[in-house]
A and B are shown apart, each in its own frame.
Chain A
Amino acid sequence: MSAGRVSIRSEDFDLGTEVAALRRGDAGVGAVAAFIGTVRERNDGAAVKSLELEHYPGMTEAAIEAMIDEAMRRFEIRAARVVHRIGVLAPSAQIVLVAVSAAHRGEAFQACEFLMDYLKTQAPFWKKEAGPGGSRWVDARVADDTALARWGIAAGNAAERAGDAPDKR
């Protein structure tokens, strides 16, 4: 694990190591919630041979830092950490980790889901799938915009044109 709240990297991560670092030196923690996203072997009915992740260096880190700031404002949490991999990943590989510590479970669960919903439509990553028939860029899902709307934030990712997207920060 590397220091800081956000890590964008090609190397894999270890849940135990990341959670230990998140909790280290804070005996006020009574709950840790963690989410891991992994590469499915099938997407939209088609076989996936590999998934390639591209990002916007510099912007990605800043965007996720801002998301964590927002999560700290909204929820009574003690710390949060996000790890997101880039490059070529095989089926079953880990893609993303969101881990949150709090005094109590409710806030930890909520902040973890909030961060994941936020990341899906507001962090500059793009997935390209390789299958038997060639490669294709993965389409953004309206369902991900809907997930963020539950938190009172208009995603403006899949459902709206870019010009209609309101400023979030």
Chain B
Amino acid sequence: MKVAVRYFASVREALGAGEDVEIGAGASIAALRDALVARGGRHAEALGRQRLLRGARNRVLCAESTTLAEGDEVGFFPPLTGG
């Protein structure tokens, strides 16, 4: 299945605004993150487990265990610092 990945803040600076990614049906956000990290290079640096990141599915904050569906929008970004 295909999902639309979007990056923000320091992750966006490293990887750009986003990309479409092919991943196995029923994958979780964590599995998607691991697949991106497995590419190595800048992806491993920006999304690796050494970094504290938050995720969103279809523009709602959610746990990384959340399961994805075809066409979902997934956001990866550092902890939030608004206000």
Residues of A within 8 A of B (CB): 37, 53-56, 58-59, 62-63, 84, 95-96, 116, 119-128, 137-140, 144, 156-158, 161-169
Contact = CB atoms under 8 A, between A and B. Distances in A.
Q: Chain A's interface: helix, strand, loop or mixed, by majority?
A: mixed
Given A59-B56, A139-B81, 9 more contacts: A95-B83, A96-B83, A119-B83, A124-B77, A126-B77, A162-B55, A164-B63, A165-B54, A167-B61
Nearest to B6: A56
A59 B64 contact: no
> How many of chain B's residues touch chain A, expressed as a range?
20 to 34
Contacts of A84: 82-83
A63 B52 contact: no
Interface of B: 6, 8-10, 12, 30, 52-56, 59-66, 75, 77-83
